[in-house]
Amino acid sequence: MCGIVGIVGGQKASSVMVDALKRLEYRGYDSAGVATLIDGAIHRRRAEGKLCNLVDKLKSDPLVGGLGIGHTRWATHGAPTECNAHPHEAGGVAVVHNGIIENFLSLREELQANGHKFETETDTEVVAHMASHLIKAGKTPREAVQEVLSKLEGAFALAMIFEGHEDLIIAARRGSPLAIGLGDGQSYLGSDAFALAPMTNKVIYLEDGDWVELNAQKVTVYDGQNKVVNRDVTITTASASLVDKGNHRHFMAKEIFEQPEVIAHTFGAYVDPINLSVSMSELPFDLKTVPKITIVACGTAFYSGLVAKYWFEQIARVP
Ligand code: GLU
């Protein structure tokens, strides 16, 4: 799991992206990076470790540019080093990726046989090489990405920028989350709507298999069959204050103090305070007919699962 962001049509892409990455840090934090276009050329800053290391690097070596992509990584392929940190770049294409490209080894061998030199141990780098290979062969970025996507196996959210294309990000999702934000003369992408909260509350949640062209003034969504499709624009309630630490020392303290409000909010939909009754009629099934419940989770969700197991067994008598 990791976080990706992108912005087109802005002024200071790297500072907007770092701010958005802060809200995605819960998704991964072993390294981070950003890439922007300056006079049509791709420039990157990447740093090993927590996001604050990237922030320090950007202070001493700022990155201008109004279009960019960014990433906070949780490594699956290759050590958490600066070299393996995203964005990855090859032949005028830069890419950030959340997920796993399962067939990267065979794709890499094919590209190496065609003379491509790889710099990282990641599964992601093949995407940049494949796209640049196709663009050099005369395809447009859109055609190249379409062909790349048809060859990838696995789960991913991807975002790419292209040398010489100051008004274009192409992004795609298959199995990993991706939200598109619509601004005023700006378009954004992020692994979740919270990342985009300070920029816009107009969000398109892509469906699985969708890919999208982001320009400053418009967003075009394609489905898995490469047909232009309309996806609903949702007005989100994700507010930036929900995802910063507020006055608390750290996120865990904030979450502990938020528990009463969050529980009230969660249960609120089922409680009728006037008639003092509880209704769970919105559930798509009748709980009474469920013979057994299996809970799958890890991390803090695992602990929540243990509590739920206890309640289901003790109170509802469901194993
Ligand atoms: N598989 C990619 C890598 O290891 C992306 C991992 C992630 O989702 O952070 O770099």
Any idea of the CA torsion for 261, 262, 268, 270, to the nearest 10 degrees? -150
Instruction: Note the pTM of the prediction, 2 decimals.
Output: 0.80
Q: Ligand 1 within 6 A of 72 CB?
A: no
**Closest atom of ligand 1 to CA, residue 28:** 9
Q: Which residue has the higher pLDDT, 11 or 319?
A: 319
Q: Which two tokens stand for residue 34?
A: 């950003």
Strands 154-162 and 88-90: unpaired
Q: Ligand 1 within 6 A of 120 CB?
A: no
The answer, yes or no, to whether residue 62 has pLDDT greater than 80, is yes
The answer, yes or no, to whether residue 315 has pLDDT greater than 70, is yes
Q: Ligand 1 within 6 A of 52 CB?
A: no
Residue 29 confidence class, pLDDT cut points 50, 70, 90:
confident
Ligand 1 pocket mutation, candidates 73, 81, 126, 191, criterion most atoms within 8 A of CB: 73
**Closest atom of ligand 1 to CA, residue 71:** 9
Residue 2 confidence class, pLDDT cut points 50, 70, 90:
confident
Of the given ranges (2-11, 56-65, 77-86, 232-241), which has the lowest mean pLDDT? 232-241
Contacts of 296 (CB under 8 A, 6+ apart): 305
Q: What is the CA(290)–ligand 1 centre distance, in A? A: 38
Ligand 1 pocket mutation, candidates 96, 98, 101, criterion most atoms within 8 A of CB: 98
**Closest atom of ligand 1 to CA, residue 101:** 1
Question: Can you give the pLDDT at residue 255?
Answer: 83
Q: Ligand 1 within 6 A of 177 CB?
A: no
Residue type, 64: V
Residue 244 confidence class, pLDDT cut points 50, 70, 90:
low
Question: Can you give the pLDDT at residue 296?
Answer: 95
Q: What is the CA(271)–ligand 1 centre distance, in A? A: 42
Of the given ranges (79-83, 109-113, 242-246), which has the lowest mean pLDDT? 242-246
Q: Ligand 1 within 6 A of 124 CB?
A: yes
For range 223-238, the mean pLDDT: 91
Q: Which two tokens stand for residue 160?
A: 């790419």
Q: Ligand 1 within 6 A of 77 CB?
A: yes
Distance CA 60, CA 40 (A): 23
For range 178-206, the mean pLDDT: 93
User: What are the tens digits of pLDDT across the range 256-265?
Assistant: 888 887 787 7
